[in-house]
Structures are given as C-alpha cells and as structure tokens.
Amino acid sequence: MEPRIWLIAGPTASGKSALALRLAQEIGAEIVNGDALQLYADLRLLTARPSVEEEAQALHHLFGTVDAADGWSVGRWQRAATSVLGDIAERGRPAVVVGGTGLYFRALTHGLADVPQTPAEVRRASAADFDALGEAAFRDRLAQVDPAAEARISPADRQRLSRAWEVYAATGTSLSDWQARTDPALEPASWNAVALEPPRQALYDRCDVRLENMIDQGALDEVAALAARELDPALPAMKAVGYRELAAYLRGETSLAEGLDAAQRETRRYAKRQSTWLRGQMADWPRIDAVDHESQWRQFLALSPALTG
C-alpha cells in the first residue's frame, strides 16, 4: 500500500509547522513545504520558515530552495512537490505536506486546469472595462457568466476578477468550468487532511507577537539584504507579507513602530484571507480549533485514530 500522505493547512501563525514536525517525528515522515513564500531562500525569518534546528529533526523538502529572483508558479510547485512525494513513497516513508497556500493544496487534491492564455488585447479591454465600470458593476457582469468565480474572489482583488472575465471573453467558457476539467495529482485514497482554524482573535494575537519576535531575531537584516538586490517588485518573494512595510522603515519613510504596526496589520489581513480560503475551498477538511500546541496535538489524534495503524 502506498504510504499515507498527510496534508496540514492553516493560516499564518496557526501552529501548523509545529504540528507537522511533531507528526513527522511520531511516524517517521518527511515534510514537504506547501507555502508559496517559504519556498524562497532570502526570507527565512519573515516567512516563518522552519529553523535550522527544526529542519534537523526531520527531512524537509522545498523549504528555502528557490532564489528570490526566480518566481515560481503554482504549476511549477505542483510538479516539484509531486516529484518529491513520489521519491518519498519510493523510500517507503509517509509524507506531511504543510503550508498556508490553499491553491497549492487544491492543485494536489483537485489538479490544475489547463486554462488557455488570453490575448493581450482581451486583457487590455478587461482592464479598461474595470476602470470604466468600477468593481461592483464589473462583478455584476462577471456573475452573469461565472457566478462561482465572482463569489469566491475576495473584494478588491482586481487581478483575479479581471482574469476570470478575460478567460470567458477569450474562450466563451467560464474560468470555473475550465478549472473543473482537472484530475488530481494525488490519488484520493492516498491522503488525509486537517486544517487549523484557531479563534480569530487568538490568531491575530499570535500574528502580532510573532512579528515582534521576528524583529528581535533579525528580520530587518533579511529585508535589507533582499532590498539591496533591487529585484523586480512583481516577483512573489517581494510580496512577502511585512516586507514592504519594514522596507519602508529601512528607507527612513516611517518609524520602526509604524513599520511594525503596518506589518502586523497586513499579517492579520493575510491570515484572514487564508482562513476565508480554507472555509470556502476546504470546507470538508476536519478542523482543529485549539490554540496551544498540546491541545492541537490532542485534537489531531482524536481526528486521526489510525495514526499509528
């Protein structure tokens, strides 16, 4: 029988990395990164990547293996993760995929759609329509042809709203219909999953404390080193939560207190978006709502009676 694959998802600061490490130690598993920002080598502290000491306690894959100048797509991650999971299975060991990027987990469990590229003129027309109509009217129009996409795309997410309209305008088929034409990368019987969903205020408090600890541990040095590379701001690594706010402080545009406050605020917003994705896209995954590590582990064991079987 193929070794079991455990999927552990959750918003930032929810405790998922600690849970994944404990599970890996209990069952002799290898850990695979499922977080889009922890891929990048440049920001270990700011992206809350496992420490060197934690990585020494279990084999870790796809953590800090990508240079910030090399922007990975979800498809590229899926191919890499699938290859790693195959190697782990050949070694006869279980695997734990852990992270906060919901689309990565969906790529594994539902597959990725082969959506055609849209012509440049369609993209320009969509952008012009968004400017002319405004978000509310643009959403109303999208809802007529792709209600599922309109419902799941967050407010103010112009990029994804435009993309959904562009696909329909270019192909005559909604983005949601394209995305339904997929095969999962993982066999349904090969994996079990849990999602961490602590109470909102407790999660926010943990986000705030973690940002303060990051500053104490040297996150500003990481930000300064990455800023010195003068990379394209559109690269994924340059969009790490907290990077822009702390970089503004280093440029002398804000005080440290203001930069930290802004970074904490953006981290809380990011956690909320992640939680919203989990509720919408992974509603059938068992939930762990405890806050402290020991309680999370007990809940996990209660949800996973066959853990040692």
Tens-digit pLDDT profile for residues 133-142: 999 999 999 9
Residue 309 lies in a domain: no
Across the beta sheet with 30-33, the strand order is 60-61, 30-33, 95-99, 5-9, 191-196, 287-288
- Rounded Cα distance between 302 and 309, Å, is 14
What CATH number is given to the structural domain containing 26? 3.40.50.300
**Which of 229, 131, 130 is closest to 139 using CA atoms?**
130
The single residue listed with the structure tokens 């400017």 is 131
- Rounded Cα distance between 275 and 278, Å, is 5
Tens-digit pLDDT profile for residues 32-91: 999 999 999 999 999 999 999 999 999 999 999 999 999 998 889 999 999 999 999 999
State which residues form the domain around 145: 120-180
Least confident of 100-114, 235-249, 252-266, 277-291: 100-114
In this prediction, what percent of the chain has a pLDDT beyond 90?
Answer: 80
What are the b/e assignments for 35-69, b being 16+ CB within 10 Å?
Answer: bbbbbbebbbbbbbbbeeebeeebbbbbbbebebe
- Rounded Cα distance between 95 and 207, Å, is 27
Residues 63 and 193 reside in one and the same domain: yes
Q: What pLDDT does 306 receive?
A: 57
What are the b/e assignments for 199-226, b being 16+ CB within 10 Å?
Answer: eeeebbebbbebbeebbeeebbebbeeb
Instruction: Write out the two tokens for 146.
Output: 């792709």
Looking at 180, 213, 229, which one is the last position of a domain?
180
Residues 132 and 46 reside in one and the same domain: no
Which residues are CB-contacts of 289 (< 8 A; sequence separation ≥ 6)?
A: 196, 197, 198, 199, 299
Higher pLDDT, 20 or 280: 20
The domain total for the chain is 2
Tens-digit pLDDT profile for residues 224-251: 999 999 999 989 999 999 999 999 999 9
Residues 77 and 212 reside in one and the same domain: yes
Q: What pLDDT does 155 receive?
A: 82
Residues 79 and 210 reside in one and the same domain: yes
Please state whether 50 falls in left (phi above 0), alpha (psi between -120 and 50) or beta.
beta
**Which of 290, 286, 282 is closest to 306 using CA atoms?**
286
The single residue listed with the structure tokens 């402290």 is 292
Residues 138 and 268 reside in one and the same domain: no
Residues 206 and 93 reside in one and the same domain: yes
**Which of 214, 235, 270 is closest to 227 using CA atoms?**
235
What CATH number is given to the structural domain containing 170? 1.10.20.140
Residues 187 and 298 reside in one and the same domain: yes
